[in-house]
Amino acid sequence: MDQKTPFLSPPAAARTFGFFIDGQWKEGADHFERASPGHGLPVTRTVRCTVDDLDAAVASARRAFEDRRWAGLSGAARAGVLLRAAEILRRRRDEIAYWETLENGKPISQARGEIDHCIACFEVGAGAARMLHGDSFNSLGDDLFGMVLREPIGVVGLITPWNFPFLILCERVPFILASGCTMVVKPSEVTSATTLLLAEVLAEAGLPAGVYNVVTGSGRVIGQALSEHADVDMLSFTGSTAVGRSCVHAAADSNFKKLGLELGGKNPIIVFADSDLEDAADGAAFGISFNTGQCCVSSSRLIVERSVAAEFEKLLAEKMAKIRVGDPLDETTQVGAITTEAQNATILDYIAKGKAAGATLLAGGEALDMGRGQYIAPTLFSGVSRDMAIARDEIFGPVLCSMHFDTVEEAIQLANDTVYGLAASVWTKNIDKALTVSRRVRAGRFWVNTIMAGGPEMPLGGFKQSGWGREAGMYGVEEYTQVKSVHVEIGKRRHWIA
């Protein structure tokens, strides 16, 4: 790394990471070398762990849970660790963003903003740890008192994806910890570095050994074994709906573990003629291009009122043409590299399908040659029909398809015409339309005249095939608890046997 410009040039050599079990760093015999998708240079080497390594991690998390070294602490004590972690993240912000950018390909400015969000997650999690509570029932008569207790569910397996390796991790970890659970984390094989760096952060913050364990390797081996593990009480998985379905089968075939699933999305952005079209165009361009469209909540289906469709699509195409695509370590870059070669090929294939199906290309539609790395121009198709593959499938790239409507009812029908229900947005200055659409479109997150806004105080999750459960905020802590009813009899028992 150039010492004059730290964190703004690739490292001179790949950094080797171990894995983390019971508060100790472990070494492995086999490693996966990751090349930066933005530069084509090796940047990290992480261990291909074995199932035996995973078993050791689960055993460590189980010991830490059963001896109550974490669950037995007060909410205030757990909050203290989470707040110290937030301060360490603030100190190491640029460093963590750097490794996130190198492995993922996202712009360094975006990565820094994501770390800021992660800091907020730990701060909100700290408050939630102190506020978590049950309930009481003083309505059972003079002879009986009822209590409802919330208890941590136990050992949590956490499988995270490559598109937001640190952000998605931090939208879960502080809330899992706030509940009193212990965990084993399996990050994506291609973006493991920042999950391992969080182990350093949590250890420095005072988290007891065994509470946070990280096992690296492939989803096919380690991810599958974690989802099937009989000593894991709950699995949180973020990724594709197809893999989420396999997690359901694995849970059913092992120990009926509880599942939290955040899966795919084909998210609508509905633009009415009475909206601020300039604002809506900027929002649509951002919504499909942020993180190169590799985002579960990307607004990939534009549903625009027919009377302004031509005008709006022209504004949007002009916006998208101005987006700065380039080196992720360049401070001015807005859209970086596609994270994996396989995803790059998938996106280009869908662009070809859109052209072949007769959709009209208004912007982008091609790979960009930057001399190294893999880049795709933000792409806009018009004249898209609901039966086209680009309109139905989650592309997971910067490809937006535009469809037109005439009535509010038609807009709602188009928005709901998908197996997914993760996120949606509506743009209008009419409060009646905004409320009607937001109440009737089936999505777990909804934005009105904005997009991808909000903080970790609010719950995250989807409807339909976009997943089960909620993450973040108070809901996200409660998700990792189970409810126990306690009945206390007062006074002498009325005997059944005379």
Active site residues: 262, 296
Give Cβ neighbours of residue 29 (< 8 Å, ≥ 6 apart).
Answer: none
Cβ atoms within 10 Å of 100's Cβ, excluding its own:
26
Please state the length of the chain: 498
Cβ atoms within 10 Å of 208's Cβ, excluding its own:
17
DSSP-based three-state secondary structure for 4: coil
Q: What's the chain's Rg over C-alpha atoms? A: 24
As beta bridge partners, residue 489 has 144
Cα distance between residue 89 and residue 320, in whole Å: 33
Q: Give the burial class of 413: count Cβ atoms within 10 A of its Cβ; 0-12 exposed, 13-18 middle, 19 or more buried.
A: middle
Structure tokens at 329: 């370590």
CA 228 and chain centroid, separation: 22
In contact, 469 and 422? CB cutoff 8 Å:
no
In contact, 372 and 336? CB cutoff 8 Å:
no
Closest CA to 75 of 176, 183, 173, 178: 178
